[in-house]
Copies of this chain bind each other. A is one copy, B any other.
Amino acid sequence: MDVYSLPERARYQKDRPYLDIVHDHHAFRILVFNFEPGQELPVHQHPAESEVAIMVLKGEGVFTGAEEEIQARPGSLLICKVSEPHGVRATTRMQVLVTIAPPF
């Protein structure tokens, strides 16, 4: 049983989002993106069968996809297949938890 304190692990960097890989084993990959305002995980998709969940822990921004942008606040949770276009853009400092299952 491993316990992590994500607030203590938060780091930010000027040139790109800070990526923190928390866990990467057989069933799922769990990672945290820390964004400065304006930084983003651009809309992308992967040719795989996996699913992804993106949970907003801190800060505000938008979930981005093929067409729409959807407000993302603490407690907002996006779920989609990794083959669907998905992304995140921060408007404030923002911390999101990303879970990918199974890893690919």
**A47 at the B interface (CB under 8 A):** no
CB interface residues, A 46-94, toward B, < 8 Å: 49-51, 53, 55, 57, 63, 65, 70, 72-80, 84-86
A94 → B minimal CB distance (Å): 14
Interface size on A, residues (CB 8 A): 40
A51 touches B77 (CB 8 A): no
Binds B, one of A11-19, A34-42, A96-104: A96-104
Given A27-B51, A53-B30, CB of A1 within 8 Å of CB of B102: no
Pick from B8, B22, B28, B77: contact of A4, CB under 8 Å: B77
A3 touches B75 (CB 8 A): no
**A23 at the B interface (CB under 8 A):** yes
A6 touches B77 (CB 8 A): yes
4 closest Cβ contacts across the A-B interface? A101-B101, A27-B51, A7-B75, A6-B75
Can you identify 5 A-B contacts, CB atoms within 8 angstroms?
Answer: A3-B72, A3-B79, A4-B77, A5-B76, A53-B99
